[in-house]
């Protein structure tokens, strides 16, 4: 089977490029499953029911997230009602929603998706992602051998470490959060596909998705300033993974990029 794993979708520009390309990519490349990180999809921070529906309608099957998922209060109900929208599994159990799901593709293949959040430089009071991953994977493997992990973390070392820790236990680990794609896609020795960060999906004429002049003002003055989603050079960044559905091992990993040069303004409803 083949999965497309899309990096952090940034505001309306990110959603527009997902809408532009994902359905065509599914048909062109015979993609069975699409996973996208949605924690910045609504106005650059958070996700709402309307924004989630936009992404599902565009061809995404599962939405992962991270520390910014809580920025829109509407997400609390969404996480409770729609199992396709995940928050990191290592948040305390009292947090709404779930951190993993088993979905069935159109061809009847079952796939587990697990969302984790790092602890290094992140600040949130989350549980140990390594131990939570062990627990969640043991449960997911009762349903399927194909397991995809979004490791949402700041430190490259933590993302690389979880990749090695889970090598042979899951099909692929793809890193999100830092918005800059890394060039280290590979298959680890025991068969797990890996990339430290898949990059973001949104405006690349920016500072990690935000208007450059505003971020420069913040760095130069040290004073908090308004930070808005940028508009230029819209790009979709993803990892394309071929997986042996019987063994659950990755057989091929490839970075994928699509560009849309026209500017897309973020919408007020976000």
Q: What are the catalytic residues?
A: 68
Give the side-chain half-sphere CA count within 13 A for 134: 6
Structure tokens given for 15: 């959603």
How far from the centroid of its chain's Cα atoms is residue 127's Cα? 19
How far apart, in Å, are the Cα atoms of 73 and each of 42, 52, 54, 65, 221?
A: 12, 14, 18, 15, 31
How far apart, in Å, are the Cα atoms of 88 and each of 101, 153, 213, 256?
A: 11, 11, 32, 25
Rounded to 10 deg, the angle between the 129-140 and 156-166 helix axes is 40
Beta-strand relationship, 33-37 and 186-187: unpaired
> Distance between CA atoms of 183 and 205, rounded to whole angstroms?
20
Cβ-contact 90, 117 below 8 angstroms = yes
Cβ-contact 202, 14 below 8 angstroms = yes
Cβ-contact 103, 132 below 8 angstroms = no
Task: Look at residues 206, 155, 217 and name the one whose alpha carbon lies nearest to residue 182.
Answer: 155
Task: Look at residues 165, 121, 170 and name the one whose alpha carbon lies nearest to residue 141.
Answer: 170
Longest dimension (CA), the chain: 56
Cβ-contact 264, 12 below 8 angstroms = yes
């Amino acid at each position: 089977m083949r999965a497309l794993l899309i990096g952090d979708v940034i505001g309306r520009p990110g959603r527009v490029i997902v809408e532009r390309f994902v359905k065509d990519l599914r048909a062109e490349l015979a993609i069975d499953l699409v996973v996208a990180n949605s924690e910045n999809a609504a106005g650059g921070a958070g996700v709402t029911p309307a924004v989630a529906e936009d992404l599902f309608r565009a061809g995404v099957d599962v939405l992962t997230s991270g520390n910014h998922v809580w920025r829109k209060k509407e997400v609390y109900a969404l996480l409770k009602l729609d199992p396709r929208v995940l928050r990191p599994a290592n948040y305390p159990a009292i947090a709404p929603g779930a951190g993993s799901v088993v979905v069935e593709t159109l061809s009847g293949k079952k796939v587990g998706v697990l969302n984790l959040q790092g602890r290094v430089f992140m600040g949130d009071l989350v549980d140990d992602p390594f131990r939570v991953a062990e627990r969640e994977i043991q449960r997911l493997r009762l349903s399927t051998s194909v397991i995809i992990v979004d490791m949402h973390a700041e430190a490259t070392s933590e993302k690389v470490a979880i990749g090695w820790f889970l090598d042979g236990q899951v099909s692929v680990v793809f890193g999100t959060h830092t918005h800059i794609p890394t060039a280290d896609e590979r298959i680890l020795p025991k068969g797990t596909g890996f990339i430290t960060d898949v990059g973001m999906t949104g405006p690349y004429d920016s500072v990690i998705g935000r208007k450059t002049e505003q971020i420069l003002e913040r760095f130069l003055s040290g004073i908090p300033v308004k930070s808005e989603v940028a508009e230029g050079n819209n790009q979709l960044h993803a990892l394309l993974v071929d997986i042996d559905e019987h063994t659950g091992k990755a057989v091929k990993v490839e970075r994928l990029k699509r560009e849309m040069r026209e500017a897309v303004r973020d919408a007020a409803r976000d």
